[in-house]
Amino acid sequence: MHSRRTVLTTAAAAAAAAALGVGEAHAGPSPVPSPPAAVERLRRLIARMSPEEKAGQLFVMRVYGHSATDPDPADVAANRKEIGVADAAELIARYHVGGIIYFGWAHNTRDPHQVAALSNGIQEAAAALRVPVPVLISTDQEHGIVARIGAPATLLPGAMALGAGGSVADARTAGRISGRELFAMGVRQDYAPDADVNVNPANPVIGVRSFGADPQAVARMVAAQVGGYQSAGVAACAKHFPGHGDTDTDSHVGLPYIHHSAQEWERLDAPPFKAAIAAGIDSVMTAHIVVPALDPSGDPATLSRPIVTGILRRRLGYDGVVVTDSLGMEGVRVKYGDDRVPVLALKAGVDQLLNPPDLSVAHAAVVRALRDGELSEPEIDAKLLRILLLKERRGLFADPYTSREQVDRVVGVRAHRAAADRIADRTTTLLRNRDGVLPLSPRRTRRLLVAGVDPAAPSGTGGPPTAVLAEELRRSGFTATVLPTGTAPSRELIARAGAALAERDAAVVATYDITASSAQRTLVEELLATGKPVVQLAVRNPYDIALLDGVAAALASYSWTDVELRAAARVIAGRRDPAGRLPVAIMRADAPQTALFQIGHGLRY
């Protein structure tokens, strides 16, 4: 992985680290008290920075391309259009950014070796600066429905699936596996775990990204994942403070309001964040949500000093790094212009500014506010010290580089993939099983129709779901015919599915966020009309069964990624006992205040 230049810059980085007196990364909980000598040396590093360099270190930015210096022409064009630079190296040279975030859609995450090479190229560019500071590379590797880096990296069950499994040990193991693989690819910060308590079934942005609806259970899982990630040398990030779990608006496209009272916030939303802080979490991400009970100004939490400084810093005692959610999201842009948002976030108490829509505008605004005194230099220096101490804890001053050999030793290895399957086997939840329809048996129902949705899986996570289900069922002795019908099947496709089932013994149908008027609901009714056994599997939110009273057998996998679908197929075939328990309540469709299934519900064979 290292070129000759990389080896030389590695040595230079080591020499710089020695000059600073910065030691190895801490593997245990953090933030931890740093040696006074290290703090003083990092302060001297900050003192060498110009206002432009200080401002740049506060930003975490996207950049297009698989390479730091030689991206594809289309990525160069996208970078020039959106950022005014050609590539990651030019981004670092011009703006001195302290962090870079990887996205699949930005073509940063083709495969693990490429990711590691990109990470090394980014660190080489940072080492060449007048004031060399390693870059904190981050991504959203939550697993489940949000995974930026796909196979052959190990893909693990997502948060709500882990919540259904209920095992703190499994949550910690999943975090540790993910952290080890990210570290090997040069990624030292993961924007996970999600600490939101999903008490609103209509939540369009959190849902299965949350561990569940019980604040204390979520708190236990969050703390376990923090320990897992950070024991592997990767900074965890609890999001989205002060809690995004009870909203029916997506902050990507609007400004959500959370109408919890202060007492309700303390009981429902605060426990997971308190647990993350107690576990020594490195960073906390703010939410672009309005919580009038915590700040009546109407400002989103990201821009709220009463929330960030008053509650997170002072009341909860958190002194680690605070990062905004993406500043390109509509929720933070509806009230103020893009030049004011980063300044107001910093004044609120935030340290890192994530992914502004126009970096030149945001950077210039921070420099201007620093020069004009709207942002005080001591306050900015304190933010920079938090960020640099996080980088020191995670080993970036000691050695920010990785290697091809490290990727091969760690990423997607057999032991990790086997652990992912074992964890997934403990998450599938059996919601209903009238008349003992499940498990299916090849002796009675050999010929299966596998129909339903095939949502686009996160890049590299496999699929399509119906094909994955069918292949795993074939391993159990069934014959399986696949008929993808999508989220909005036509009447013709619905009729085809009914006709196909008439010639087979049973159906497995994958559903995805069914509504009262959904054509998926009509599809299931068509299949039920054949009189053949129909097994319904909810592959995202588990609430679909509330609208499918006629279904005799229903399960939830909490995601449509391969690891969870294979586990669900093993349960359907009786190769595994359904071990998951609902981490959220499912309310009746005709009486929304009444639970159809309570938290903790889950049948066994």
Residues noted as catalytic = 325
CA distances (Å), origin 471, targets 53, 212, 419, 493, 534: 54, 30, 20, 22, 18
Helices 359-372, 341-348: inter-axial angle, 10-degree rounding? 50
| Residue listed under structure tokens 């509806």 | 334
How many other CB atoms are found less than 10 A from the CB of residue 409?
11
Could you tell me how far CA 252 lies from the centroid of its own chain?
15
Which residues are registered as beta bridge partners of 597? 586
CA angle in degrees (0–180, nearest 5) for 218-513-454:
110
Strand 146-147 vs strand 141-143: parallel, antiparallel, or unpaired?
antiparallel
| Residue listed under structure tokens 């906390």 | 284
- Three-state secondary structure along 243-266? CCCCCCCCCCCCCCECCCCHHHHH
What is the secondary structure of 551-604 as a DSSP string? -SEEEE-S--SHHHHHHHHHHHTTSS------SS-EE-SS-TTSEEE-TT----
Within 305-457, strands assigned E span 321-323, 353-354, 429-433, 447-452
Structure-block tokens of residue 68: 């730091």
The whole-angstrom separation of Cα 454 and Cα 446 is 23
The whole-angstrom separation of Cα 325 and Cα 313 is 17
CB 332 within 8 A of CB 344: no
User: To the nearest 10°, the Cα dihedral for 66, 321, 258, 560?
Assistant: 40
The whole-angstrom separation of Cα 321 and Cα 281 is 9
How many other CB atoms are found less than 10 A from the CB of residue 569?
28
- Number of Cα atoms under 13 Å in the Cβ half of residue 381: 14
What is the secondary structure of 454-483 as a DSSP string? -PPPSTTS---HHHHHHHHHHHTT-EEEEE
CB 455 within 8 A of CB 540: yes
- Number of Cα atoms under 13 Å in the Cβ half of residue 91: 34
User: To the nearest 10°, the Cα dihedral for 289, 294, 296, 299?
Assistant: -30
CB 43 within 8 A of CB 385: yes
Within 321-411, strands assigned E span 321-323, 353-354
- Number of Cα atoms under 13 Å in the Cβ half of residue 251: 27
Could you tell me how far CA 381 lies from the centroid of its own chain?
29
